[in-house]
Amino acid sequence: MLRIRKWGPAALLVAPSLVAIGVFVYGFLGWNLRVSLSDWRGLRATYDFAGLDNYRRLAGDTRFIDGVQNVVVFTVVFVAGTLIFGFLLALLLERGIRGEAFFRTVFLFPMAISFIATAIIWRWLMSNASGAQETGLNKLFDSVGLGFLANDWFKADSYWAVASVAIAAGWALVGYIMALFLAGMRGVSDDLREAARVDGASEAKAFWHVIRPMLLPVVMSAIVILAHISLKTFDLIYAMDAKSRKIETPALYMWFTTFEGLNFSIGAAIATLLVLGIALVIVPYIWYSVRSERRR
Amino acid sequence: MTTTSETSTRIRSRWAPYVTTVRYLVLFALVCVFLIPVYVLLVTAMKDPAQVSPSRMWNLPDSFSVDTFGEVWPTLEPGFRNSVLMALPASIISSLLGAANGFVLAKWRFPGADVVFPLILFGMFIPYQAILIPMRELLTDWNMVGGLSGLILVHIIYGLPITTLIFRSYFVTISDELIDSAQVDGAGMIRTLVFVALPIALPAFAVAVIWQFTSAWNDFLFGLVLTSTDSWPVTVALNNIAGGQVVPFHEAMAAALLASIPTLLVYVLMGRFFMRGLMAGALKG
């Protein structure tokens, strides 16, 4: 009785949220898995068990395989580029610089706008129109004598087309990564740095031996966050060029095959594979975060 | 050892002004490159529509004009209104629920709280593709597809992980004595939350509401799946205005700018809270 009185109100307070998350996250994930093992095609839901048929079909589906290749290229370019530039920006801002707030505000503002708006601007910047219609970055390159840089961007007929989308995504996220690095660098107390300097370490050495090791966790979180974004990004690519197979990733293929092709079971199978991919990076990350917090 | 340290100090001080100058120059150059899209957006949206052509994208306007905004606003306005009606309640309700969850998880740890918290957090990272089909099935059954109600509901629910995380991180830093003294005074759980914890959690509330408002406003996928023409949120409306290849690009730019104004305003005016939301999103609260 005492236990109920002690935990009762607390349980009641969190119960609605827990039920909602239980149903809308875990219930739905299970439901989606069930759809992926069914033969549901067309508007009416059918749940006849079809085993791994849908997954087997995806393994031989060139559109899906191309999509996987695209998302790999996208992830590599996006994660590496954003990490490098985010780190560089943090490094430039780290030792208290006049106007730091201004610089931070500038580099972070794309986080406040939608991927749709981002895609609209970048689609025009990366237009591949030529001749009198030439515009965007190609036009800019031409007029400053860098014409050799002009290219077909996301319309290019190569698997690098999707790298153009990664540029836009990197533009949107680089400020976030900069902020993560800044927080990490500042987490190293000035005392520690001063101690290193008193011991005779140069600025560069102090950075290498004192700050760098502390940044490893930041790099890990940045990679996890960026990689999971690249796996699930939908709106940026959709608004850039929804119809192009050159930049289509499984996250988009899922949508098209489900809601336009009405292949619900195939769409569910793609979605399940996406969850598996993301869980692979996210679950260890959450486990590590919660555990290291408890140790503190 | 002493000599090297002295030399390095001397070298550092002699080169320091140059290093600072180079640092500023590099930063300034990066800012310029970074703002290229903003330049194009502003210059294009503010040109006299008669002057606009893709080949003159980089030219400054001969005369400023807001005509283009007037042209696109009527088509964007319904979506804009829908997004206000959707994002405000979604962010406020999600934050209130998150406050309750965060409080309980930080201060009233029930048995099993350590298992529940990571399970809640996982909800923040799932790819939404994996819940789209069931979500649409269930909400169709509940008659919540095609209007705003379904969209509001899912933004409340999928916002819970991050709002819970924000409040939990905040309440963990509040001393237990404060909570205990309220209990000694005879206040129960709910009263402690409402009268003691919530009033001091206003900063966390700002962080949570701003974060949720921004993500609900900027969401596209849920809007695409759950709404119909009349209830499109601003992102879906924007994509429809600016998505086609035949759309004049100054209209696309003006619409993109208009659709981004609310979140940009929030960002500029309350950047500090926005930042904290970002850090929480990386589990670094």
Q: List the one residue out of B87, B75, B98, B43 whose CA is nearest residue B250.
A: B43
Residue A104 near residue A179 (C-beta atoms within 8 A):
yes
B222 and B156 housed in the same domain: yes
- Is residue A28 included in any domain, yes or no? no
B7 and B109 housed in the same domain: no
CB < 8 Å from A in window 116-175 of B: 116-123, 125-135, 137-138, 154, 156-158, 160-161, 164
Of A13-22, A275-284, B60-69, least confident by mean pLDDT is B60-69
- Whole-number Å distance between alpha carbons of B141 and B139: 5
Q: Decide which of B33, B56, B79 is a domain's last residue.
A: B56
Of A20-34, A89-103, A170-184, least confident by mean pLDDT is A89-103
Q: How far is CA B207 from CA A113, A206, B169, B220, B279, in A?
A: 17, 35, 12, 22, 10
One-letter-per-residue 3-state SS of chain B: CHHHHHHHHHHHHHHHHHHHHHHHHHHHHHHHHHCHHHHHHHHHHCECHHHCCHHHCCCCCCCECCHHHHHHHHHHHHHHHHHHHHHHHHHHHHHHHHHHHHHHHHHCCCCCHHHHHHHHHHCCCCCCHHHHHHHHHHHHHCCCCECCHHHHHHHHHHHHHHHHHHHHHHHHCCCHHHHHHHHHCCCCHHHHHHHHHHHHCHHHHHHHHHHHHHHHHHCCHHHHHHECHHHCCHHHHHHHHHCCCCCCHHHHHHHHHHHHHHHHHHHHHCHHHHHHHHHHHCCCC
Q: Which residue range forms the structural domain that includes residue A243?
A: 63-126+158-295
**Averaged over A196-224, what is the pLDDT?**
80
Tokens of B238: 């924007």
Tokens of B26: 């590099």
DSSP track, A214-231? HHHHHHHHHHHHHHHHHH
**Inter-chain residue contact A117 with B190, CB threshold 8 Å:** no
**Averaged over B104-130, what is the pLDDT?**
89
- Is residue B62 included in any domain, yes or no? no
Whether the CB of A47 is below 8 Å from some CB of chain B: the reply is no
Chain B interface, best mutation among A85, A102, A109, A143, by max B CB count within 10 A:
A109
Q: Which of A16, A31, A270 sits opposite B97 (nearest CB)?
A: A16
DSSP secondary structure letter of residue A47? -
- Is residue A169 included in any domain, yes or no? yes
Q: What pLDDT is attached to residue A210?
A: 76
DSSP secondary structure letter of residue A38? B
Chain B interface, best mutation among A28, A46, A238, A282, by max B CB count within 10 A:
A28
- Is residue B63 included in any domain, yes or no? no
**Averaged over B8-15, what is the pLDDT?**
56
B74 and B163 housed in the same domain: yes
The answer to whether residue A95 scores a pLDDT higher than 70 is: yes
Average predicted confidence (pLDDT) for chain B? 88
The answer to whether residue B105 scores a pLDDT higher than 70 is: yes
A159: distance to nearest CA of chain B, Å?
Answer: 23
B135: distance to nearest CA of chain A, Å?
Answer: 7
B46 and B157 housed in the same domain: no
- B1 or A294, greater pLDDT: A294
Task: Please report which confidence band the pLDDT of residue A81 belongs to, taking 50, 70 and 90 as the band edges.
Answer: very high
B146 and B249 housed in the same domain: yes
**Inter-chain residue contact A176 with B278, CB threshold 8 Å:** yes
The answer to whether residue A296 scores a pLDDT higher than 70 is: no
- Is residue A225 included in any domain, yes or no? yes
Q: Which residues of B86-113 are buried (b: 16+ CB within 10 A; e: fewer)?
A: bbbbbbbbbbbbbbbbbbbbbbbebeee
**Inter-chain residue contact A275 with B114, CB threshold 8 Å:** no
Whether the CB of A87 is below 8 Å from some CB of chain B: the reply is no
Whether the CB of A16 is below 8 Å from some CB of chain B: the reply is yes
CA angle A268, A274, A280 (to 5 degrees): 140
- Whole-number Å distance between alpha carbons of A272 and A55: 10
B169 and B260 housed in the same domain: yes
A4: distance to nearest CA of chain B, Å?
Answer: 11
- Whole-number Å distance between alpha carbons of A94 and A90: 6
The answer to whether residue B268 scores a pLDDT higher than 80 is: yes
Q: Which of B125, B238, B243 sits opposite A282 (nearest CB)?
A: B125
**Averaged over A43-65, what is the pLDDT?**
95
CB < 8 Å from B in window 133-172 of A: 133-136, 139-140, 143, 171
pLDDT, one tens digit per residue, over B201-258 is 999 999 999 999 999 999 999 999 999 999 999 999 999 988 766 778 889 999 999 9
**Averaged over B82-101, what is the pLDDT?**
97
- Whole-number Å distance between alpha carbons of A242 and A259: 14
What ipTM, to 2 d.p.?
0.91
Q: List the one residue out of B204, B278, B119, B101 whose CA is nearest residue A290.
A: B119
- Is residue B142 included in any domain, yes or no? yes
Residues of B in contact with A290 (CB under 8 A): 114, 117-118, 121
B196 and B259 housed in the same domain: yes
The answer to whether residue A154 scores a pLDDT higher than 70 is: yes
**Averaged over A226-248, what is the pLDDT?**
94
B269 and B229 housed in the same domain: yes
B48 and B74 housed in the same domain: no
Quote the number of domains for chain B: 2
Q: Which residue range forms the structural domain that includes residue B36?
A: 2-56
pLDDT, one tens digit per residue, over A212-232 is 777 888 899 999 999 999 999
**Inter-chain residue contact B37 with A121, CB threshold 8 Å:** yes
Q: List the one residue out of B6, B130, B217, B191 whose CA is nearest residue A277.
A: B130
- Percent of chain B at pLDDT > 70 equals 93
Would you call A174 helix, strand, or coil by DSSP? helix
Whether the CB of A66 is below 8 Å from some CB of chain B: the reply is no
- Amino acid identity of residue A140, one-letter, is L
- Please report, for the domain that includes residue A239, its CATH number: 1.10.3720.10
CB < 8 Å from B in window 190-209 of A: 200, 202-203
Q: Decide which of B32, B56, B80 is a domain's last residue.
A: B56
B100 and B188 housed in the same domain: yes
Q: How far is CA A207 from CA A46, B6, B94, in A?
A: 60, 18, 42
Q: Which residue bears the tokens 């998880």? A: B105
B50 and B74 housed in the same domain: no
**Cβ count near A3 (within 10 Å):** 9
Q: Which long-range contacts (CB under 8 A, 24 or more apart) does A202-208 make?
A: A202/B5, A202/B8, A202/B12, A203/B8, A203/B12
Residues of B in contact with A122 (CB under 8 A): 37
The answer to whether residue B1 scores a pLDDT higher than 60 is: no
Q: What pLDDT is attached to residue B280?
A: 84
**Averaged over A10-16, what is the pLDDT?**
87
- Please report, for the domain that includes residue B153, its CATH number: 1.10.3720.10
Q: What pLDDT is attached to residue B151?
A: 97
- Is residue A5 included in any domain, yes or no? no
B67: distance to nearest CA of chain A, Å?
Answer: 19
- A264: closest chain B residue by CA: B133
Q: What pLDDT is attached to residue A2?
A: 47
The answer to whether residue B29 scores a pLDDT higher than 80 is: yes
Of A183-197, B62-76, B141-155, B221-235, least confident by mean pLDDT is A183-197
Q: What pLDDT is attached to residue B244?
A: 66
Whether the CB of B95 is below 8 Å from some CB of chain A: the reply is no
Of A75-84, A205-214, B104-113, B122-131, least confident by mean pLDDT is A205-214
Residues 6+ apart with CB under 8 A from B131: A24, A25, A28, A29, A32
Q: Which residue bears the tokens 């490893």? A: A216
Would you call A52 helix, strand, or coil by DSSP? coil
pLDDT, one tens digit per residue, over B42-81 is 999 988 887 788 778 888 888 888 889 999 999 999 999 9
Question: Which element (helix H / strand E) includes A196?
Answer: helix A190-198
Q: Angle formed by the axes of helices B271-281 and A100-108, to 10°?
A: 60
Question: Which element (helix H / strand E) includes A96?
Answer: none
**Is the pTM value of this prediction over 0.80?**
yes
B177 and B85 housed in the same domain: yes
Residues of B in contact with A242 (CB under 8 A): 243
Q: What pLDDT is attached to residue A5?
A: 58
Task: Please report which confidence band the pLDDT of residue B263 belongs to, taking 50, 70 and 90 as the band edges.
Answer: very high
**Cβ count near B159 (within 10 Å):** 25
Quote the number of domains for chain A: 1
